[in-house]
Amino acid sequence: MPSLSKRVGTLQESAIRKLDFVVRRQEGVKFHRLNIGQPDVATPQPLLDAIASFRPRVLAYGPAGGTPECREAAAAYHARWSPGLDGMHVSVTCGGSEALLFAFTAVCDPGDDIVVPEPYYTNYNGFATVAGANVRPIRTTLADGFHLPSDDVLDAALTPRTRAVVFANPGNPTGAVYGREELARLLAWAARHDLFVIADEVYRRIWFESPPTSALEFEEHRDRVIVVDSLSKTYSACGLRVGFLLSRNDVLMEKIERLAQARLGVQPLAQHVAMAALSLPESYYEEVRGVYAERVGGMVDALAELPGVVAPRPAGAFYSMVELPVSDTERFARWLVESFRHEGESVVVAPGPGFYARPTDGRNQIRLAAVNDVATLRRGVELLGRGVEAFRREHG
């Protein structure tokens, strides 16, 4: 066989999906999936109605950067916080994932660096690999609520090849929310070092105390800010695969359009559904916040009852990066799936190291997702507690 590229050779296996292969091999076990951010919340009816009402004669290509209607709708939606946006500031993408890939590709040459507060969303590694870039972590800690460290610590992550900083706000897996002040400091820091700022705002509607600030709100940084948004989580529409890349930087947007042209556009049906999503009333988003506040609260309260477990209450998104009294959560997570059973049930968790740049970090942590109803989550957490006890008895 001819040899494959070095690039694919260095692609990491997703920490979140890793256990799926093992789970699929188990028979007759009911698994509680706390490892993956796939909500079971029903997709809003207007989106399903939009699917039914889409009846083209020809399933034609759409414009590469998105249909004008969809781009305008996304711009109008974001203009609620960031006035002055129009359709030219938007490219419709295949989920937030493709927007991230486009952003990384547009700002990095092979060998360039992107800094990211860690723990971070694991797929940033994959996008960086495809773009030929390296991810350089900036450590944040559970003790500090995973907020950004001082500028000195940020500086230490820089190299002569650093091109951008990327972060999720609200954070996956951390649940940290950056407000105006914290974001202003990060943007000022990025400006001092002439970096692009890639703000992944796919959880922007899911917050519990105060809302995140969008990086697009800082007009003075218009040329360095790239925002990623997605329909996946906000509208429980992960399978629709629609996201947006937004920026006020016209030169960048012209290059993003070329990247979009290379793959010919997002399916028009999905964009038609996206417009239905973007026209939902504000009350819809309040409902969504209520649903996740209850779920996240239920999960964290249940975790607080487990001895030796530290579970931060997220300020946004629906994950918690949890510390366990276990020294190797990779091994623990696999053991749960392969060997731990209680009344025919088991639990799947995402091991912590996958969210860090070095596999030796985060080894006593797991990430849990609060994407099911509270009763189901409580049962999952109960099983986790039993699993921790049994694992410690067996493995010390």
Ligand X SMILES: Cc1ncc(COP(=O)(O)O)c(C=O)c1O
Q: Residue 136 and residue 14: Cα distance in Å, rounded?
A: 18
How many residues of this chain bind ligand X (CB under 6 A)? 13
Q: For residues 334 and 350, is the Cβ–Cβ distance under 8 A?
A: no
Residue 232 near ligand X by CB under 6 A: yes
Residue 95 near ligand X by CB under 6 A: yes
Q: Residue 131 and residue 101: Cα distance in Å, rounded?
A: 7
Contact with ligand X (CB under 6 A) among 15, 37, 216, 391: 37
Nearer to ligand X, 171 or 385 (CB): 171
Residue 96 near ligand X by CB under 6 A: yes
Nearer to ligand X, 44 or 96 (CB): 96
The DSSP output letter for 352 is G
Contact with ligand X (CB under 6 A) among 140, 172, 234, 346: 172
Run of H or E including 73: helix 68-78
Nearer to ligand X, 133 or 309 (CB): 133
Tokens of 61: 């290509």
Residue 168 near ligand X by CB under 6 A: yes
Q: Which residues contact 302 (CB under 8 A, 6 or more apart)?
A: 377, 378, 381, 382
Which one of the spans 23-31, 39-47, 90-98, 105-113 is the region binding ligand X (CB under 6 A)? 90-98
Nearer to ligand X, 137 or 325 (CB): 137
Which one of the spans 61-69, 93-101, 184-192, 292-300 is the region binding ligand X (CB under 6 A)? 93-101
How many CA atoms are closer than 13 Å to the CA of 3, on its beta-carbon side? Answer: 4
Contact with ligand X (CB under 6 A) among 23, 130, 238, 293: 238
Q: Are strands 345-348 and 350-351 parallel, antiparallel or unpaired?
A: unpaired
Closest CA relative to residue 346, chosen from 41, 17, 37, 34? 34
- Using CB under 6 A as the binding rule, the residues of this chain from 330 to 369 that contact ligand X are none
Nearer to ligand X, 35 or 232 (CB): 232
In 3-state terms, what secondary structure has residue 30? strand
Which one of the spans 92-100, 132-140, 213-221, 344-352 is the region binding ligand X (CB under 6 A)? 92-100
Tokens of 67: 């249909």
Q: For residues 226 and 196, is the Cβ–Cβ distance under 8 A?
A: yes
Q: How far is CA 133 from CA 101, 136, 163, 187, 269, in A?
A: 11, 10, 9, 21, 33
Q: How far is CA 82 from CA 92, 154, 241, 321, 328, in A?
A: 18, 27, 24, 31, 44
Which one of the spans 5-13, 91-99, 209-217, 388-396 is the region binding ligand X (CB under 6 A)? 91-99
Residue 63 near ligand X by CB under 6 A: no
Contact with ligand X (CB under 6 A) among 117, 243, 362, 387: 243
Q: How far is the CB of 350 from ligand X (least distance, A)?
A: 11
Residue 118 near ligand X by CB under 6 A: no
Burial of 392 by CB count in 10 Å (0-12 exposed, 13-18 middle, 19+ buried)?
middle
Which one of the spans 42-50, 145-153, 230-238, 277-285 is the region binding ligand X (CB under 6 A)? 230-238
* Residue with tokens 């920490």, as numbered in its chain: 15
Residue 200 near ligand X by CB under 6 A: yes
Site of interaction with ligand X (CB under 6 A)? 37, 95-97, 121, 168, 172, 200, 202, 230, 232, 238, 243
